[in-house]
Structure 1
Amino acid sequence: MILPFDFQNDPFLLLDFTADNPELADLDLTNTAVFTDYVFGKIRQAGAVAGVGGYNEHRVIYRRSPHFNQTEESRCIHLGIDLWAEAGTPVFAPLDGIVHSFRDNNNFGDYGPTIILEHVWNGKPLYTLYGHLSRPSLTGLQVGMAVKAGQKIAELGPFPENGDWPPHLHFQLMTDLGGHQGDFPGVCTLSERERYLAICPNPNQLLHIPGLN
């Protein structure tokens, strides 16, 4: 459990941010307040405790930010799982580990405050990334600090400090950070898809959310 919900029993809503969702075509995604009203309106309408966005999803919502469109090929493949919940929702470590690195990635559409933990899982190194946190979540952190499974490590941040997104947690696994500190791509291009999926396993191996691949 990384948020205070039981996804096996509590109602949640799968949110579709692909081109298959016609509602996105008329939504001003650059207006974070409008985007937030849309996301949480859907969650409330469904009577859900949280929203969930999928791994390896080909999304259209990244058109909202130049952060994902800095080269000829735009980034559009989501490499983590998103858990959409109110700002201030606590975030818990899923495994024992240490703080690898942290940073405030303060750009429109970026992660905002971000923490990366380092673990040993099945005898191999594994890194977990937590994006879109509150700024106070970074206070007092030190590289190498020990973290226990189930320990509160952060809280979801409000916009605009969370990278200017509707409040949610971007949770991602990596087996190789490639030298990154406090940051790692959470979205890749279509041409990079296989390379990134090879080092970013499906986070649902840890979350066990029903209905997700």
Structure 2
Amino acid sequence: MPTHFESLLSSLDVSTVLPPEIQFGQALIVDLSRTRPMWQAVGDGNPDEWVLNQMRAIGATMSIGRYNEQRPIYENTEQFEGTPDRDLHIGLDLGVMPGTPLTTPVDATVFSLADHQHQGDYGPTVILRHQEKGLTFFTLYGHLAADTLNKINVGQTLVKGELFGWVGDKSENGGWAPHLHFQIIQDLGEWKDDYPGVTYSNQAEVVLENCPDPNLIIRRDDL
């Protein structure tokens, strides 16, 4: 049964985060979980190239990395060094071209701006604060273009559908293939300009309740 927070998110009148033709267009859903055949198909090759080739084959304009998925891809990054059990992804990864514009799905205040430049981290990061139907919550946008941090200011008000930034490239986004990490957070706790996008599987019950499925806002029918 949906929580009160999930029910509220489902009831919101939202705008798109990405351009509509991308957000609702043809997409390749990529299963990055530990046991999936993709890893055998990639072998010793480049997984980023493998994804791009699969996208071209179906005419996709976006790839999607799933929410609530255990992944092996973090183990060899500086950001996740020494935490092999931290592998549960709690956002949506929306793989698009660098420079793709981002707009706020509902009215917002810019809560924080940061540039987390450890290899494997978020790179330029924005957290927006929302107040809807008596409830406060946050959305996090990771792996952005550095110019985003000059576009907006902490405390600035954004109206639904307003441009606030762009997706970054690999040289500035923490070292990842270009994509948006999009995450919903009910309670930031003591976090200020950051929040984990990957957690420990033994914390799943609590964390997934605090960070529900981002598709409650993205609203694709195939997720």
TM value normalised by structure 2: 0.86
1:7 CA displacement: 6.3
Q: Which amino acid aligns with 1:51?
A: S
What CA distance in whole angstroms lies between the structure 2 residues aligned with 1:137 and 1:38? 29
| Number of equivalent positions | 207
What CA distance in whole angstroms lies between the structure 2 residues aligned with 1:116 and 1:195? 21
Q: Which amino acid aligns with 2:52?
A: F
What CA distance in whole angstroms lies between the structure 1 residues aligned with 2:20 and 2:179? 14
Partner of 1:43: 55
- Determine what percentage of the aligned residue pairs are the same residue: 38
Distance 1:140 1:13, change over 3 A: closer
Partner of 2:9: none
Distance 1:3 1:9, change over 3 A: closer
Partner of 1:98: 109
Partner of 1:162: 173
- Is 2:138 the counterpart of 1:127? yes
What CA distance in whole angstroms lies between the structure 2 residues aligned with 1:164 and 1:8? 23
Residues 63 and 96 in structure 2, CA contact (< 8 A), matched pair in contact too: yes
- Is 2:128 the counterpart of 1:117? yes
1:69 CA displacement: 3.5
TM value normalised by structure 1: 0.90
Partner of 2:87: 76
Q: Deviations over 1:162-201 (max 9, x none)?
A: 0100000000000111121221000001111112112111
Q: CA RMSD in A?
A: 1.8
Distance 1:211 1:60, change over 3 A: same
- Is 2:183 the counterpart of 1:183? no
Alignment of 1:3-14 (within 5 A): 3-6=18-21, 10-14=25-29
Q: Deviations over 1:39-61 (max 9, x none)?
A: 22221122111011111111122
1:78 CA displacement: 0.7
1:9 CA displacement: 5.1
What CA distance in whole angstroms lies between the structure 2 residues aligned with 1:203 and 1:103? 21
Distance 1:130 1:28, change over 3 A: farther
- Is 2:72 the counterpart of 1:60? yes
Q: Which amino acid aligns with 1:68?
A: F
Residues 102 and 181 in structure 1, CA contact (< 8 A), matched pair in contact too: no
Residues 139 and 185 in structure 2, CA contact (< 8 A), matched pair in contact too: yes
Q: Deviations over 1:61-83 (max 9, x none)?
A: 21231322434x52111111110
What CA distance in whole angstroms lies between the structure 2 residues aligned with 1:140 and 1:3? 17
Instruction: Mark the runs of 5 or more structure 1 residues left unpaired by the alignment.
Output: none
Residues 7 and 210 in structure 1, CA contact (< 8 A), matched pair in contact too: no
Q: Deviations over 1:73-123 (max 9, x none)?
A: 521111111100111111111010100001000011100000000001332
